[in-house]
Amino acid sequence: MANHAVFFDRDGTLNLDPGYLGEAEQVVLLPGVAEALLRLKKEGFRIVVISNQSGIARGYFTAKEVDAVNRRINELLKESGVTVDAFYYCPYHPDFNTPEECRCRKPSPQLVFMAARDFDIDLGRSYFVGDMISDVECGINAGVKTILLKNTLKEEQISGLLVKDKLPNFIAENLIDASDFIIKDFSGGN
């Protein structure tokens, strides 16, 4: 039987986004993240992070440093009894790499599809949560339900999704709000 999952963006969704986070010591989880992930895990969801990490292509940090940041996120989460099952990231950027290399960049669903294969995930029973328009578009492109975190988005950015006919299934104030929606929606609204 296939699994269900919640795919998450990383920076600005799970942790503070200082811009090109390449140092594990700088990881700060956003409020409520551990609680939200723990609730989703208890409902049987796999937790998978899908992120663009163009700082590698830009020379700001290495893949090894991105892996260290990801490990640090899991170390901090583990203190609350939860961890991310897998991290997938695209290290490329169109200014520095070929179009073929950049095929993994969100809003492409390529990394979601890779995770679905690796973990036998049923995308029709899964969700994508992020704080950027590209996260919503990636989720739509992958065929999963989408949740947009307001965080720092301005109303005109959210309105931009309407123009593109790419509205998320839900707009959440924070990750607790997003997890409430997912759990209620997944159980059929009971």
25 vs 72: CA distance, rounded Å = 8
Which H or E run contains 145?
strand 145-149
Which residue among 9, 17, 131, 135 is the active-site one? 9
The C-alpha angle 117, 22, 82, rounded to 5 degrees, equals: 50
17 vs 27: CA distance, rounded Å = 9
108 vs 95: CA distance, rounded Å = 17
Whether 67 sits among the annotated catalytic residues: the reply is no
Strands 46-52 and 170-172: unpaired
Token output for 24? 């594990």
Whether 9 sits among the annotated catalytic residues: the reply is yes
Catalytic residue numbers read 9, 11
